[in-house]
Structure 1
Amino acid sequence: MLVSCSSDCTARIWYEELSAPESKGHAPGSKYIAGPVLSGHASGVLDVAFGEQWIVTSSRDKTLRVWRRSDLAYVHTYYGHSASVNACCLQDGIVASGAGDGSIHIWDVATGQPRTVIRGPHCGISSIILSGSLVFTGSSDKVIRIWDADEGVLLSVFQAHDQLVRDLSYDPERKLLISGGWDGVTRLWNIAPTLSAPRTLSPEMLLPAPEFLWEKCVHHGRVFGVCFNSTRVVSSCEDRVLMVANFGNYGLPTHLYT
């Protein structure tokens, strides 16, 4: 199953042909079948996240909406933010959402009850990843920040791009973070040295920045999305190009990818 979101205030379910419960029409030239539309937002839907039980959408209308995946029933709306909710992430029943006012909310997807509210930077959050007790955010000030999801404390901050950080992808097993920016660059970071550094009791003493490993710039425009696996990095861009890069071509330490 795929879920897409749109400026028309909706999200749409797409089923792979072999797994589709019933045919609702084919998108031209695709191998997916258009399924139900999730509606209810008052403005464009900016991001979507889903897992085995839930689908979550975030919108310019300052809210997030939750649906049950099994029957696509609407469950509730989360109203915690005071600006457009640009990004959301879902992990093990917990949502992390970031908004244009710099706020970061971590909340229970089933009940809508907030767990941690972080008053982040005085700039918009443009991307967010939740991984265990860590939250990674990218923002319009070209910076990536690492937060403690339980305490709401800033752990590390570093400049990652020359323009807005549009998307992030994280592998917790290998402690690798991929970032994509509006500067047209995709970068790879090793988070392990940061996480292994001793934490101090002083909030002013931040952990060291991650180790920069690799970058690729082949796009003639802003990077909108990034993802990766053990061998390749994929990024999408406004120039209508998907870049697929092989880790092995750049002399990176092989122990990081095995």
Structure 2
Amino acid sequence: MRNLNETTGWHTTHQYFQKFLNWNEHEQLHILERMLSKLSHNQLFVMQKFIQPMLQRDFIALLPQHLSEMILANVDARTLAACEAVSSDWRNVLARGQLWRKLIERNVRKDNMWRGLSEKRKWRKYILVSRDTASFAICEHYKMNYDVLQLFPKVVADIDKIEANWHKGIYKLSSINCRSENSKGVYCLQYDDEKIVSGLRDNVIKVWNRSDLSCERVLSGHTGSVLCLQYDDRVIISGSSDATVRVWDVATGECLNTLIHHCEAVLHLRFNDGIMVTCSKDRSIAVWDMVSPREINLRRVLVGHRAAVNVVDFDDRYIVSASGDRTIKVWSADNLEFVRTLSGHKRGIACLQYRGRLVVSGSSDNSIRLWDIHSGVCLRVLEGHEELVRCIRFDDKRIVSGAYDGYVKDSCLGFGSLSFQQHTGRVFRLQFDDFQIVSSSHDDTILIWDFLVEPEPPSSASSDTLEPTIGSSIQSSSAERTTITTSNSERSPPGTPPRRRSEMYLGAAPSSSYDDGPIALFVEPYEVETLAQYEARFPDVSP
């Protein structure tokens, strides 16, 4: 009897189900709504467990291959790794679309650190290559030695190591000896991956090979110290205490042009996109139109400073100048009219960099100031140097400055700053990127501080020292010295009197009569606030 009742019940249920299937969608929803309203809370919970998986769809597996690739090609590394673990279908999409490789390509194109590592580690040519056009040999080499699944974590580890080296002060030090019979300092420099171009007190420009640090070329023509220079892929332009600006051919070293306008030393210059700006001890700023290396025409002279103009910088909006009169002046790059004065330094300003909305300046009042160029407001004052701040550069992560003191105190940002003390004279110029600092000094040397280094374990002999040297000094030639070393943050004990200030007149090149002393490269951990965060805090303000 029980089996008969079960069979009859199943038959009746089947009949109801068939009727349900024959109803239209509106009728089906109506009966389901009524049935659900009669269920208990526990029954509804059980129903939810049945229904929820039915509502999920594997859109990556269901979409056409090219659409799935487009979606996953826009995620970050962490998400991409999670996608690989979802299913074999998702892994196949990643593999067929070479999405790890595309992620590396994207990082190389948009991030300076990735771009630099791709060149220095020699794997860029295997990543940025089309499988359709690359030779079989290159593709096989790529498959064997540059598997992207292994490459990505290696690059991330490389980046972490470089950042750790910056924070701990671990670097490989290389030295170029620029000393000659008449040389008494290296006033200016610029570098790239192939060369370093330096301007010397003995009136010449020297070009050094980056691979072996040998001198490739000497450019002679100035009759005074070479105080400033800049180059691109076509020309080197230099300014001198002989009051002239000279234009040189990068490839041949030939002097193409000599500009005679300023009546005293040319202290600084910048050029870009057909415009050049020079400044002088004669208190003036000259704006030039660069038609060609042999045709450079004076457009206008800007006058307003009451002392030597030590440094200029500009973009398509503003020209910014700093002077021994303690002020920074802002000029319109469009009509060359005066815009505003930034005041706050207590003594003459020796160095400056301008980028985006931010101006960073260094002064003989021993301080570094950060300014909003639109409003003219001083955003922050960094103190730590005990003598004149001669040169300064910054990027999104840090501020690096060179001064005439021997140590660096903690900054007002609350981080321990690093003091790199290797020069035996005062620093005159520096430049840096994600991997290195290159600095020049009154001691006739150019130092290269390379943070892309894998240090050896410290020896037992150095383990008891406060500032251990990792590895040993290698005397490779008279023009080169290489060491790997660490530098610790230094703090002056309470009550320590400040060192004697330099009384250098900021309008002229420093005299050789100034006694030499150690210099400090001030590495300020500026990552406490990125430029994007800074811009969010200070919205646009009309000039």
Q: Same fold (TM over 0.5)?
A: yes
The aligned residue for residue 148 of structure 1 is 372
SS in 1 for 2:296: coil
> Cα RMSD (Å) of the superposition?
2.3
Note the C-alpha offset of 1:126: 0.3
The aligned residue for residue 52 of structure 1 is 273
Q: Can you give the 5+ residue segments of structure 1 that lack an aligned partner in the other structure?
A: 18-30, 191-207
The aligned residue for residue 401 of structure 2 is 179
Query: Does structure 1 residue 229 correspond to structure 2 residue 433?
Result: yes
SS in 1 for 2:394: strand
**Structure ranking higher on relative contact order (CA contacts 8 Å, 6+ apart):** 2
- What amino acid is aligned across from residue 42 of structure 1 in structure 2? C
The one of 275, 284, 287 aligned to 1:63:
284
Spell out the pairing of 1:201-240 with structure 2 (5 A cutoff).
209=413, 211-240=415-444
Spell out the pairing of 1:103-252 with structure 2 (5 A cutoff).
103-171=327-395, 174-183=396-405, 209=413, 211-248=415-452
- What amino acid is aligned across from residue 2 of structure 1 in structure 2? I
SS in 1 for 2:428: strand
Task: Deviation per CA, 1:28-70: give whole Å up to 9, x if none.
Answer: xxx5222211221121111111112211111111110011122
The aligned residue for residue 95 of structure 1 is 319
Note the C-alpha offset of 1:210: 7.0
Note the C-alpha offset of 1:110: 4.5
Note the C-alpha offset of 1:212: 4.7
The aligned residue for residue 199 of structure 1 is none
Query: Does structure 1 residue 13 correspond to structure 2 residue 13?
Result: no
- What amino acid is aligned across from residue 175 of structure 1 in structure 2? K
Q: Which has the larger radius of gyration?
A: 2
Task: Deviation per CA, 1:89-122: give whole Å up to 9, x if none.
Answer: 1223521100101111111235321222112323
The answer to which of 38-47 and 85-94 deviates more is 85-94
Q: How many residues align?
A: 219
Structure with more of its chain in helix, by fraction: 2
Q: Is the 8 A contact 1:227 1:234 kept in 2?
A: yes
**1:35 and 1:93, CA in 2 relative to 1: closer, same or farther beyond 3 A?**
farther
Q: In structure 2, how many angstroms separate the alpha carbons of the residues matched to 1:32 and 1:92?
A: 30
The aligned residue for residue 194 of structure 1 is none
Q: In structure 1, how many angstroms separate the alpha carbons of the residues matched to 2:255 and 2:244?
A: 13
Q: In structure 1, how many angstroms separate the alpha carbons of the residues matched to 2:320 and 2:444?
A: 29
Q: Is the 8 A contact 1:157 1:209 kept in 2?
A: no
Query: Does structure 1 residue 2 correspond to structure 2 residue 226?
Result: no
Runs of 4+ displaced beyond 6 Å: none
Q: Is the 8 A contact 2:315 2:333 kept in 1?
A: no
The aligned residue for residue 297 of structure 2 is 73
Note the C-alpha offset of 1:178: 1.1
Note the C-alpha offset of 1:182: 1.9
SS in 1 for 2:440: strand
Q: In structure 1, how many angstroms separate the alpha carbons of the residues matched to 2:415 and 2:238?
A: 33
Give TM-score, length-normalised by structure 1: 0.78
Residue identity (%): 31
Note the C-alpha offset of 1:213: 4.5
